[in-house]
Amino acid sequence: MKTAVITGASKGIGKAIAEKFAKENFNLAICARNENELQQTKNDLLKINATIDVLCVSADVSNKNERENFCKKVLNHFKTIDVLVNNAGTFLPGNIADEPEGRLEFLWQTNVLSAYEITRYFLPNMLQQKSGYIFNMSSVAGLQAYENGGSYSITKFALTGFSKNLREELKDKGIRVTTIYPGAVLTDSWKGTDLLKERFIMTSDVASVVFNAYQLSDSSLVEDIVLRPTLGDI
């Protein structure tokens, strides 16, 4: 049975991806900050597929020690890592000129360094088995500047660069790398909005494109996936 590691998996896009891989009979290693929500997610995943093994570790990936602890527990529990989804991230709007001091540093740790260091932790495992798939969850904010993007957009552009370099380094090592660029997805970030759900991407759609990309033969790769609401960006 194969294993998928998914960060930020207690809700939203991460949980939808975990549910999709559970349906496809993958063991799962998941992390999130809220331990109660994480345990509930584990219960939900086992209701979908009671035959899989689900390791859940409470971890704030913006904290170096916590993300390292998560990685160590995963490798102590599972022998091989087949899929890594660097999904954890935080959106905070702002302008470079007047956003709070330390905003860039916090978002850098959460949105960039977490993916960089977690990937480096699991890469030796993938390189040894000469196979693996890495998905990095970016944003349309990592493709073009937009109002109130600030440090968030900077970090997503950086994640795009990380993905491109990683893909180039690993293309002849049996490891594929795909970057996902969602627009507005109907998650808790939009809680309280008066916009109709039809204006948003569904989390299940993001999960579907991730798994569909994974299913391609080893000789093919979808490098970048851009998803936007059918009616355009919000």
What pLDDT is recorded for position 187? Answer: 72
Q: Confirm whether 214 is a catalytic residue.
A: no
What pLDDT is recorded for position 63? Answer: 96
Identify the structural domains of the chain with CATH numbers, from first to last.
Answer: 3-227 (3.40.50.720)
What pLDDT is recorded for position 146? Answer: 86
What pLDDT is recorded for position 11? Answer: 92
CB burial of residue 186 (10 Å; 0-12, 13-18, 19+) = buried
- 158 within 8 A of 112, measured Cβ to Cβ: yes
Residues of the chain with pLDDT under 50: none
User: Of residues 121, 133, 152, 214, which has the active-site annotation?
Assistant: 152
What pLDDT is recorded for position 233? Answer: 82
What pLDDT is recorded for position 12? Answer: 93
What pLDDT is recorded for position 234? Answer: 74
